[in-house]
Amino acid sequence: MVISESHILLNYLIAIILSIVVAVVLKLPLVPEKPIRFSWTKSALFPTPIITIGILGFVYSLGFFWIYDGIILAVIICIISGLFVKYLFDYLFPKPLMWSDE
């Protein structure tokens, strides 16, 4: 089954938007705490949509689009990635040890 590039782009946009919504509904902060570049806080903007895009891209590269040209698959993956970031992300990727100045 082959779908057009516009459908794939639409599926990615749906997945990004819905993954942010799912993360906010799960009470993840929208942005990480300040200062952002030294923050290890999970948020709705990072890493939730990045994980969603990665998983969706992997599944699409295998040629699996399921039904409705992959839109249902994008919704399912964004829900799963939101739950993953909220509950399992710290177990797989623990926070780094902080270096002390002493």
**Cβ-based neighbours of 80, under 8 Å, separated by 6 or more:** 55
| Residue listed under structure tokens 């710290």 | 90
* Positions of the chain with pLDDT lower than 50, given as ranges: 100-102
Q: Which of 87, 14, 76, 84 is nearest to 48 (CA)?
A: 84
Contact 73, 66 (CB under 8 A): yes
Alpha-carbon separation of residue 22 from 35, 78, 93, 101 (angstroms): 24, 8, 21, 39
